[in-house]
Amino acid sequence: MQTTSIKAYGTEAADADLKQLQIDRRVPLAKDVEIDIMFCGVCHSDLHFARNDWGMTEFPVVPGHEIVGRVTRVGDGVSKYKEGDLVAVGCLVDSCRTCDNCKDDLEQYCPEWVGTYGGFDKHLQTNTHGGYSERIVVDEEFVLRVPENLDAAGIAPVLCAGITTWSPLRHWKVNENSKVAVVGLGGLGHMAIKLADALGAHVTLFSRSPGKIDDAKKLGADEVIISTDDAQMEAAMGRFDLIIDTVPYEHDLNPYVNTLSTNGTLVVVGYLGPLDPMLVTVSMIMGRRSVAGSLIGGIAETQELLDFCGKHNITSDIEVINMQDINAAYERMLKADVKYRFVIDMKSLKA
Ligand code: NAP
Ligand code: ZN
Ligand code: ZN
């Protein structure tokens, strides 16, 4: 297979900083779109994966799955895109395309889904490499169209932070009668507030950080509950139809379950792993309450979200950084010191 060598940023070990690497991209095949990457968002999953928090990372890793750029070349069989189009790639670059999940536009639950990084690249027989790079080559079925009225840097986080919160909002049919709460004001949390607000819901933020109250209200939250204040948590009992929990690390879900209304659901999208303390079933049984999980979103649903953002003029609140600043950005993300998503300007890598 013909390849070209390009510049990327990644790491060869969990305890090493990210640094510049060379990686190969395939020369576009018949159904491929080659994209010159303009911007790539920085997701907390990039940090988890680079540092092997989930114990499944194979090195080297080139993170990045919030990719926006322009098409530079397409294969002979491509019909959806042409050179110059503003496009995006999210967390998925392939799937089996034949299983029930794929047929239902739920490629993210396909047993053979291929992640944008750390997946298995059937063409090059190596791991896939993500958006902290100059270019990417992706099958047209996994490329998304970006509305031209939106800021290209600001829309990047919609490809993961946005779709990961949009998918549960849609699945649980959030509308103007819904009471939605969001746990944690970071990348996912701030998109969840904006999107739930745009769907007309009453929106509450649970945060540990009193310093974020004003920001949350500007983003669209109707109220903020400080989660470390027992009196405020007590007063919120039985109130929410849907809670989206974006906290990245182990924490106690029980106080949040108590704040669900009858038939309410708490959807975990942040923390991946066993719970400590464990879930107590009492308040689930007493109120027919559910605790669920949700993974990103499918390709059709991601396009639906990009179009919704185009129509409602929604982008992410971002801090643009250079590729060379990524290690400092990870340290700030660990301290929840991001307003509210870092986005890498890929010109800094190409220079
Ligand atoms: P982020 O920007 O770092 O935001 C996380 C927020 O959680 C923080 O801003 C903070 O908000 C809150 N938080 C509570 N306890 C924390 C702690 N011990 N350390 C740090 N923050 C804490 O992260 P993100 O990019 O939104 O990602 C959130 C999680 O979702 C990550 O674990 C990521 O891997 C996961 N994720 C899942 C999916 C999926 O498909 N399910 C997709 C993307 C990302 P306050 O200051 O307001 O408390
Ligand atoms: Zn992500
Ligand atoms: Zn499938």
CATH code of the domain in which 324 resides: 3.90.180.10
Task: Kindly report, residue by residue over 253-295, the tens digit of the pLDDT.
Answer: 999 999 999 999 999 999 999 999 999 999 999 999 999 999 9
Work out the mean pLDDT of the chain and round it to a whole number. 98
Span 309-323, average pLDDT: 98
Of all protein residues, whose CA lies closest to atom 13 belonging to ligand 1? 247
Instruction: Write the CB contacts of 98 (distance below 8 Å, at least 6 apart in sequence).
Output: none
Domain boundary among 272, 293, 314: 293
Same domain, 181 and 263: yes
Q: Quote the ligand 1 centre to 256 CA distance (angstroms).
A: 16
Same domain, 283 and 327: no
Q: Which residues hold their Cβ within 5 A of ligand 3, which is an ion?
A: 95-96, 99, 102, 110
Task: Kindly report, residue by residue over 113-135, the tens digit of the pLDDT.
Answer: 999 999 999 999 999 999 999 99
Q: Tell me the sheet residues that pair with 20.
A: 9
Same domain, 232 and 338: no
Same domain, 149 and 14: yes
Residue type, 150: L
Q: Is 201 in the pocket of ligand 1 (CB under 6 A)?
A: no
Q: How many domains, in total, are found in the chain?
A: 2
Same domain, 211 and 260: yes
Same domain, 191 and 260: yes
Side-chain-side CA neighbours of 222 within 13 Å: the count stands at: 12
Q: How would you classify the pairing of strands 240-245 and 179-183? A: parallel
Of all protein residues, whose CA lies closest to atom 32 belonging to ligand 1? 248
Same domain, 66 and 183: no
Same domain, 149 and 251: no
Of all protein residues, whose CA lies closest to atom 22 belonging to ligand 1? 247
* Ligand 1, pocket-test mutation among 40, 42, 44, most atoms within 8 A of CB: 44
Span 217-244, average pLDDT: 98
**What is the pLDDT, as a whole number, of residue 159?**
98
Domain boundary among 251, 267, 293: 293
Same domain, 104 and 193: no
> Is pTM, for the whole model, over 0.95?
yes
Same domain, 304 and 287: no
Same domain, 246 and 334: no
Task: Supply the range of the domain harboring residue 32.
Answer: 3-159+297-350
**What is the pLDDT, as a whole number, of residue 24?**
98
Asked if 62 and 80 touch (Cβ cutoff 8 Å), the reply is no
Task: Describe the chain by its helix, strand, coil percentages, rounded to 5.
Answer: 30, 30, 40
Same domain, 27 and 167: no
Q: Is 270 in the pocket of ligand 1 (CB under 6 A)?
A: yes
For position 245, which CATH number holds?
3.40.50.720
**What is the pLDDT, as a whole number, of residue 111?**
98
